[in-house]
Structure formats: structure tokens, C-alpha cells
Amino acid sequence: MALTIGVPRETAPGEARVALASDAARRLVRKGCEVRVEQGAGERAFISDADFEAAGCHIVDRAEALASGAVCTVSGLDASGLDGLASGAVVLGLLRPLDDTTAVEALAARGATAVAMEMVPRTSRAQRMDALSAMSTVSGYRAALLAAFRLPQFFPLLTTAAGTVRPARVLVIGAGVAGLQALATARRLGAITAGYDVRAAAREQVESVGASFVELDMETADQEDAGGYAKALAEDEAARQVEALAKVLPDYHVVITTALIPGRAAPVLITARGVAGMRPGSVIVDLAAANGGNVEATRADEEIVASGVTVLGPTNLAAEMPTHASEMYGRTVAAFLLEFLDDEGTLNLDPEDEIVAGAVVARDGEIVHPRVLAALAPA
């Protein structure tokens, strides 16, 4: 029996993406799946119902999309969506289980299997399913454009009849996927770029996109975990890092911060004192705003001016480029489903498989992921 795959319209405020674009849906249809797309699900990403129909999908109402064997979402389901789930459904999405366990607990209570796409392990086999990296690419790109738009000067060097305009200097803190994309984009816009990260491997990555690596006047051990993410610094190391960063911030017109630690509040790297030391008119884009922010002054989804510096705290930049973001995200979702779909149309999520073990956070009415269980444990 063919697997039924539902694609409901996203209901989160400001969310313009759709969980499967037509190209990814076509791959699933060719595999024998029945893909049910809620009417209008892709319109905010400029993907029409006709595009989905041309890919072999069925355009249905919300109830039918939710009553599918696998339900593909971007940011999970609201209460009404949960009520419409079929028994034993598999729900895939960016569920943020380490930041807010409420959504995962609700899915477990419904008996659903919850697949958190951001928890897919960073392995070569799972690379095609790496939704977090895909969306971080979009966010880093948009962050550089946002900074260029808000900065009251040019990014590139210009030689004009009115004289020479010096290029902007851009610092990116955190050299993960978002940070590297921000660096690459800022450099393409003509800025002089530099990057900083606590991970030893980051130097080569920063330099690979044409940026210089910032050396802070402090000593720390390599702060990279087994998954390639930055680890939290000890309290005294973190304090020294803040002081060291404050000394270099005045050299830059733009600072983009991307530092996140999975399952924890974002580390504060720039205090009010650090902002006050920057040049008036400078711009900070804090990509960690959804997790509290790397900048003391950050307010989620707000623009504030502190000491003459514009501080922006966008929480969902990927939704601002919904067409390509939907295509990229949808390909990771389709890759996950196709990896575990057998010839009979059954989705076999073997808990012994390393990808399944990393991404499935709830099944059979229980939370099963050890890191989520740890987040639920009393302090």
C-alpha cells in the first residue's frame, strides 16, 4: 500500500515556507507515494497548486492532508493540526525539541512518531537530509543582505568622480554554516570580511571563503563536540571572550553573530559595553535572537538602536526567502523519507539506524531521544 504524505499549510506567524516544494514532491510520487497538498499550502512561497498537480500531487483540504501516514511540516503543528492526525502518523518538521519540549510532548501524547529534522546527525550518509544546514545557508545569506541594506554606507570599495569610498568591514562571529554563508555573501558584496569561532577547525573554514580569521587575546581548549558544534565555554573563559571581543568590535562596521549551543540559551558575546564601543552607524545582525541572542541588547524580531548602533534580531530569516528555502528544505525531507521507504511503500524507521536514532524524538506515545529526555528532567 502506498504511503500517504500530507503537506498542510503552515500556520506559524510569519512562516511563508512549505514543507515540500513541487520538485521534492515529484520524487516521492515517482516512488509510488500519494502526496496530498493542502490547497494554497505553497502560495506564500510562490508555488501554486497547479505546480503541485503537475508533479502528480493531489490538492486536498486541510483535514485530508493531516490524515496522512506521514505529515511534512516546516515548524510543526498547532493544536488543531494535532487533533487531525491519523493514529500512528509520522510528523516531520523543525520541531526545536531541545529549546521547547511542548510540541514534542504533544505529538507523543497523540501517539505520533516525531521526526525533528534539525536533529539529523552530521554524517556523510545523512548529508542530503541535513535540513539545519540548508536553512542556515539561507539565513546566513539573508543576514548579510540585511546588514548591507541597513548600513548607512556602501559595502564595496568604489572609485568615483566624487572620490574613493572605502569598503565596509564585516565581522562574523560563529563560523558554522550560517556564518560561513554570511562571510561569503558579504565578500561578494565587496566588504572586507573576518570571522571568529572558538573551534580550532574554524580557521581553515573561514579562510576558505576569503575572510581573515580573528585571533583573540585569550587561550581556550578546542571547543568542538563530536557533532561538529561549538561547546559552551567555562564561565571564566566566557568572560574573557566577551572582553576580548569588545576590543576588536570598533574595527568593524557590521557584526553578524551566529553562535548557538544546542539545547541551551545562546551565549551573550556582546554586552552593552561592547556595543557602546562600536562606531556610530554600525549594524549588528543577531542570528541567535530566537534563543535569547548573542547580544545583550537584542530583542527578538525587533530593531533597536543602542549607543548609535542598530541591533537587529530576526528569528526566521529563511521564511523571508521562501521559494528557495522551501525547495532546499523539501529536498531534505524527501531524502529522509526515501531513505527509509521500502518497495512496499512502508516507512521503516528502525530505531537501531543511526539517522533514525538521531532524528526521531518520540514514538509510540513516549519521548525516546536521550537529549530531549535530559531536557525534560528536573533541574
Name residues whose C-beta falls within 8 Å of residue 131's C-beta, 6 or more positions apart in sequence.
Answer: 94, 117, 118, 120, 329, 332, 333
Question: Each residue of 286-322: pLDDT tens digit?
Answer: 999 999 999 999 999 999 999 999 999 999 999 999 9
The phi, psi pair for 307, rounded to 5°, reads: 55, 35
pLDDT grade, residue 378 (50/70/90)? confident
Active site residues: 122, 127, 130, 133, 229
Range list of H helices, 76-158: 79-83, 102-109, 131-150
Name the packing angle between helices 131-150 and 177-188 (round to 10°): 40
Instruction: Determine the pLDDT at residue 377.
Output: 79
d(CA 93, CA 107) in angstroms, rounded, equals 12
252 secondary structure, DSSP code: -
* C-alpha pair distances (Å), 201 with each of 198, 261, 263, 276, 317: 9, 17, 22, 31, 27
* C-alpha pair distances (Å), 238 with each of 273, 331, 334: 15, 38, 40
All three cell numbers of 49, joined, read 497548486
Instruction: Determine the pLDDT at residue 231.
Output: 66
d(CA 183, CA 140) in angstroms, rounded, equals 8
Domains in the chain, start-ordered, CATH in brackets?
A: 4-119+321-376 (3.40.50.720), 139-315 (3.40.50.720)
d(CA 290, CA 315) in angstroms, rounded, equals 5
Instruction: Determine the pLDDT at residue 173.
Output: 98
Name the packing angle between helices 322-339 and 22-30 (round to 10°): 20
Least confident stretch, 137-141, 317-321, 369-373: 369-373
All three cell numbers of 30, joined, read 515517482
Question: Each residue of 193-235: pLDDT tens digit?
Answer: 999 999 878 999 999 999 999 998 766 555 555 555 566 788 8
Decide if pLDDT at 350 tops 80. Answer: yes
> Contact at 8 Å (CB) between 68 and 84?
no
d(CA 268, CA 90) in angstroms, rounded, equals 36
**How much is the mean pLDDT over the chain?**
95
d(CA 319, CA 325) in angstroms, rounded, equals 7
